[in-house]
Amino acid sequence: MQLASPALPVGGFSYSEGLEAAVDSGRVSDEASARAWLLDQLQLALGRADLPVCAAALRAWLAGDAERLRALNDWVLQTRETRELRLQAEQMGRSLLEWLRNKNGSNSEAGAAQLALLASLQPAPSWPIAYALALAQTGAAPREALLTQAFGWAENMVAAAIKAVPLGQSAGQRMLDALGAAIPAVVDAALALGEDARQAFTPMLAILSAQHETQYSRLFRS
């Protein structure tokens, strides 16, 4: 539950993942369009990329498979479609690494070895790989772990929609209800997804993220 909180000090609140550019372009303008946008992003982006790769990384952390973790980290950073999205993955990964270093109870020999491996990932530990380590250290089952990841994402994105559209708090709760209802099926599909089926292909999101890099006025880093 702590890992799902927007208060986790990794800067997730400072990103809109293209949503702010969608608002600026008129594609998202009210509660209904914001809800549809985030539901699509959950299924087409998170469900096909970050959730499956986090599940694979969770298994690799539990198995101590350093080679597999490096390959997964490379995949994450190589498939980020814009500079903004890659910087987000790197910054949040580094921030979570620092939080794990400072967290009480992470000073065991095994924990120190895991953190050393995470820190060694080049050019940076990406967010899904770092988050998988944090989840692994809780002892959560894979489905519980991915539900945590998906709900944490949903809370940050709904908060971004409330600010960017803008929307009221009640609208935000209705959107969170819709995302929460969709998350379990997306998580189950992500857990069942084969290695060859994992993908990062969201062309419009990539275009909007690239446009956001030079957007005249903005609230969010991406």
DSSP one-letter string for 161-172:
HHHHTT--HHHH
Question: What superfamily does domain 29-212 belong to in CATH?
Answer: Urease accessory protein UreF (1.10.4190.10)
pLDDT of 217: 80
Which residues of the chain, if any, have pLDDT below 50?
A: none
For the chain, which residues make up each domain, given as ranges? 29-212
Kindly compute the dihedral angle of the four CA atoms of residues 72, 125, 145, 65, in this order, to the nearest 10 degrees. 50
pLDDT of 158: 97
pLDDT of 153: 96
Residues 148-194: tens digit of each pLDDT: 999 999 999 999 999 999 999 999 999 999 999 999 999 999 999 99
Contact status, residue 209 vs residue 82, Cβ threshold 8 Å? yes
* pTM summary value: 0.94
Contact status, residue 15 vs residue 201, Cβ threshold 8 Å? no
CA atoms in the 13 A half-sphere facing the CB of 61:
30
pLDDT of 82: 94
Contact status, residue 18 vs residue 208, Cβ threshold 8 Å? yes
pLDDT of 95: 97
Question: How far apart are the C-alpha atoms of 66 and 122, rounded to whole Å?
Answer: 13
